[in-house]
Amino acid sequence: MTILDTGIKNIRNVSRCTLGEGSLAELPRLLLRRKQEHPGPVLFFADQFLEGSDSIKKLNIGPADKLIFVASAHEPSTDGIDAIVAGLHATGFQKPSCIVGIGGGTTMDTAKAVANLLTNGGKAEEYQGWDLVKVPGVYKIAVPTISGTGAEATRTCVMTNTRTGLKLGMNSDFTTYDHVIMDPSLTATVPKNQYFYTGVDSYFHSMEVLAGSYRNVIGDAFAREGLTLCREVFLSNDMMSDDNRERLMIASYFGGCAIATSSTGSCIHFRRG
């Protein structure tokens, strides 16, 4: 296979990761420090299935902060993102010191998109494409509650343009999360079949990178280790053991890092006529 090599690689990864059982407990301390350095409220986006859960109670949401639950049955739409931003402006919500996305890929992508629009202005569809976001978004923290999407690690947030039907992300260095908290305890209650299917998503993220032609040694390293971790999980006697939930969470992160360094998923659409 011919591997395309541009010679120069500029790779953007998450700036900091906190990993380990119970690491969600670190979030209030991180947010307090963030507020001290950059005064303002915190904007939380949480998967709707977490409403009323202990995980939400652990967020220590203050009176000036705002919590928005995200419906995760469908991926984000450009109209949906625009509606959230318009709603924030209409209620006079000031620029947050931090945005937190806690949930699966839909929730984490929603948080990324809103973070970009709050600083760049305009409509979500204007930033669907490659490096169209010109201003850094609001500082943001991801807390994945399921392993496999890789949204916690990638430089894009996937949205469907409801006007054109185009499914495309805000692919930009400014879209990448600044901090990721990987707490394996958050995946303990995920239904086993869903845990497996999202884990397979992580597996194929890494597989696609190694099967592609636009590659580099860093992306390959992430992908190979992601595959190794997935195999250890799926070939074990208990894929949802404490150790395996941590392995799969890391595999998800590695898979996202791998696809962020490649052109996996790129295609050209030819219109007849």
Q: In order along the chain (273 residues), what is the average pLDDT of each group of 10 residues?
A: 56 92 96 96 97 92 96 93 97 92 97 97 95 96 96 95 91 96 97 95 93 84 96 97 98 94 55 39
Examine the domain organization and report whether 240 and 140 are in the same domain: no
pLDDT number for residue 270: 38
User: 186, 211, 227 — which closes off a domain?
Assistant: 186
Same structural domain, 143 and 226 = no
Give the closest residue to 269 by CA, choosing from 130, 168, 172. 168
- The bridge status of strand 167-171 relative to strand 158-160 is antiparallel
The conformation of residue 87, written as its DSSP 8-state character, comes to H
Residue 182, amino acid? M
Residue 167, domain member (yes or no): yes
CA nearest neighbour of 64 among 88, 87, 89, 43? 43
Distance between CA atoms of residues 168 and 128, nearest Å:
6
Q: Mind listing the pLDDT tens digit for each residue in 193-222? A: 999 999 999 999 999 999 887 788 888 999
What's residue 271's pLDDT? 42
DSSP secondary structure, 160-201, as one string: E-TTT--EEEEESGGGS-SEEEE-GGGGTTS-HHHHHHHHHH
Residue 96 DSSP SS3: coil
254 assigned to some structural domain: yes
Among 164, 186, 208, the domain-final residue is 186
Q: Which of 69, 149, 66 is closest to 102 using CA atoms? A: 69
Q: Is residue 5 part of a domain?
A: no
Residue 267, in any domain of the structure: no
| Number of domains comprising the chain | 2
Q: Looking at residue 37, which CATH number applies to its domain? A: 3.40.50.1970
Say yes or no: 173 and 219 in one domain: no
Say how far apart CA 74 and CA 85 lie, in whole Å: 19
Specify whether 240 is located in the same domain as 115.
Answer: no
Distance, CA of 147 to CA of 129 (rounded, Å): 26
Q: Per residue in 142-179, pLDDT tens?
A: 999 999 999 999 999 999 998 899 999 999 999 999 99
Distance CA 216, CA 262 (A): 8
Quick one: pLDDT at residue 162?
87
Note whether residue 138 is domain-resident.
yes
Q: Which of 186, 207, 222 is the last residue of a domain?
A: 186
What domain range is 232 assigned to? Answer: 190-262
pLDDT reported for residue 267: 46
Quick check: pTM over 0.85? Answer: yes
